[in-house]
Amino acid sequence: MSTITESLNTINSLEEMAEGNTIIHRLHPMVKLITTMLYLVLVISFNPYNITGLMVFAFYPIILMALAEIPYKPLLKRLLVALPFSFFAGLSNIIFNQQLALMIGPMPVSYGVISFISIMVKTIFTVMAVLILIATTSLPKISYQLLSIKVPKIIVEQIMLTYRYISVLLEQVSNMYTAYILRAPDSKGIKMKDMGIFVGQLLLKSFDRAENIYIAMKCRGYDGNYLYAKPSPLVKIDWLYLLLVSGILSLMRFFDLSQFIGSFL
């Protein structure tokens, strides 16, 4: 099934990217987590009619992608998947708010169009920021940081375990699906009436798998607690990055570069 292979590819390619060794990859995960969250908050805090102020935030993903040597194609592909929902939410603005905002030459532009563009730009920026985070910081690294901000251990264990087994389960589903389709060549997908048995089988197999995993963990000394290495402290470059990037981002929020450039025209 194409979606399953695609998901596997996505996870694999993002995992590979996260293994890079650039200045961004080497930064402390906590620093990247904080700056990403700050970026997201600042971007979505713009009101729906201010698209000029928003533009300067394009610098962040573009510079980070260049510094971290992240290839454009896979990220853009993910982005395309995320866009449709925002597109339809934004489309309603065009329909429901037709009040004229400005004219570009002979072309009228309504507030609805402006807020539509704003939603799309925000979607692109926020999705890019999150993808860049995961493409430069592996999920285990992020999860360990969650521990240091007092996220309960059991949640972190959940994230790690689920993440570990997603690719295993996806492969299993893919095999089961192939087996099904080979026996039902005319079927476009699994018939609804077979879903109970199909997913039910998957569940039963997974219960057994979980049992085996538990036994294997037990054999290796698991007593209900994961052991974690102490996370490394922030070094000078981390602090520098944190201060610099949050400073610049905050400045960008309050200084409209587009208007500034526009004022010279």
Site residues for another protein, 148-167, by CB under 8 A, read: 152, 154-155, 157-166
Q: How far is the CB of 31 from another protein (least distance, A)?
A: 16
User: Helix, strand, or coil here: 100?
Assistant: strand
Q: d(Cα 29, Cα 234) in Å, to the nearest integer?
A: 9
* Rounded (10°) angle between helices 111-136 and 139-148: 90
Asked whether position 147 contacts another protein by CB under 8 A, the answer is no
Taking a C-beta distance cutoff of 8 angstroms, is the pair 116, 91 a contact?
yes
Site for another protein contains 81 (CB under 8 A): yes
Question: Quick one: which H or E segment has residue 108?
Answer: strand 107-110
What part of residues 113-132 is at the interface with another protein (CB under 8 A)?
114-115, 119-120, 122-123, 125-127, 130-131
For residue 142 the two structure tokens come to 């992020």
Residues near another protein (CB under 8 A), total: 128
Residues 189-228 that bind another protein (CB under 8 A): 189-204, 206-207, 209-211, 213-214, 217, 222-224
Rounded-to-integer distance, Cα 173 and Cα 180, Å? 10
Residue 154 or residue 240: which is nearer to another protein going by CB?
A: 154
Whether 143 and 159 have beta carbons less than 8 Å apart is answered as yes
Per-residue x/- track, 173-192, another protein (CB under 8 A): x---x---------xxxxxx
Residues 6+ positions from 54 with CB-CB distance below 8 Å: 43, 46, 118, 121, 122, 125
- Encoded one letter per residue, x for contact with another protein by CB under 8 A and - for no contact, window 225-254 reads ----------------------------xx
Contact present, 82 and 127 (Cβ < 8 Å) = yes
d(CA 175, CA 198): 12
Minimum separation from the CB atom of position 238 to another protein (A) = 20
| 159 SS3 class | helix
Is 141 an interacting residue with respect to another protein (CB under 8 A)?
A: no
Minimum CB separation of residue 42 from another protein in Å reads 9
> Residue 111, interface with another protein (CB under 8 A)?
yes
Interaction with another protein in 12-31: which residues (CB under 8 A)? 14
**In the complex with another protein, which residue's Cβ is closer, 15 or 231?**
15
Is 258 near another protein (CB under 8 A)? yes
